Amino acid sequence: MDIDKLLSMHPINCSLEVTPPSKGKGIKPVFETIKPFIEFKPLFVDVTYHYHKPGTLSIATAIKYKFGIETVPHIVCGGFTKEETENFLVELSYSEFESVMALRGDAPEGPPYMFTPKPNGFQYASELVEHIKNMNRGNYLNKEQEHRMPTNFCIGVGCYPEVHPESSSLLEDLKYFKLKQDLGASYAITQMFFEPEVYRSFISECREFGITLPIIPGIKVLSHPKQVEVLPQLFGCKIPKDLLEEVIRKQDDINSVKQWGVEHAVYQCEQLLKYGAPDLHFYVQNDPALTVEVMHRLAKR
């Protein structure tokens, strides 16, 4: 079922993102990450794509059939030609996936630190969204081929409540976000953030700009003091002053940091639900314990 339709079916929805294991390691840790969430009936599971961690399609397929959960593979622009991307989408269609996350992909960690598409590849997520929508209409790259079966993908995209690191302003960000909506995106998941008010303000800005699709907040439960330094560097998110000060104060006691991370995440989720969030999407990164604790506490509210 399409993700945008699932969002309207439950009062408190949750979903999660998992990552393929490093090359050569088994799939069991991924299954062990998902098992504790089954009692909460997650709407869907995202499976990320990484250049050095193959297996997105296989893992997404395994999750889908082992747990009976809607599974959403990530599709990225980087590292593929348009034809290779189209071929992968055809494989997903044959495997009966109904939803995909269309993303540009990260810039390289080393020089030149700028995203560069593969020759004859998609440069922007909006181009990828447009092509997937064209495939949904039966329009493939090879215009001469006849009787092409339309795909039927619900398209998810990313968005940035604290502005994409490469954008010059929120206005520029909103323009690109709306373009993705207008080209065929059905829902969006935000980059992680830690201040609930950021979401409320972002939703207001989006609605005023004509962006009407469901916007799902992305949530990360802090579990280590180093994360207050690393996460902003990697993802461009901001750590609220009270959260930062408390983590620094507790930094010599990892268990205390974890519990404070849980407390903050519960508060954040409660506020997000008050603000009308259609789903709570957790960036689990194959470490489910703290997120499961958050969900248990929310279930008692």
H or E, element range at 191: strand 187-192
H or E, element range at 156: strand 154-159
Residue 108 DSSP symbol: P
**Euclidean distance between the first and final Cα of the chain, in Å?**
28
CA–CA distance, 246 with 89 (Å, rounded to integer): 45
For residue 221 the two structure tokens come to: 């439960």
Residue 17: strand pairing partners: 46, 283
Compute the 3-state secondary structure of the chain and give helix, strand, coil in percent, each to the nearest 5: 45, 15, 40
The SS3 of residue 181 is helix
For this structure, is 17 an active site residue? yes
- The closest of 201, 220, 221 to 275, measured between CA atoms, is 201
Is omega for the bond preceding 112 within 30 degrees of 0, making it cis? yes
CA–CA distance, 52 with 22 (Å, rounded to integer): 7
3-state secondary structure 86-118: HHHHHHHHHCCCCEEEEECCCCCCCCCCCCCCC
Contact 76, 50 (CB under 8 A): no
Q: Which of 17, 86, 162, 195 is flagged as catalytic?
A: 17
Q: Other CB atoms closer than 10 Å to residue 168's CB: what's the count? A: 9
Place of tokens 């499976």: 47
CA–CA distance, 86 with 121 (Å, rounded to integer): 11
Q: Which residues are catalytic?
A: 17
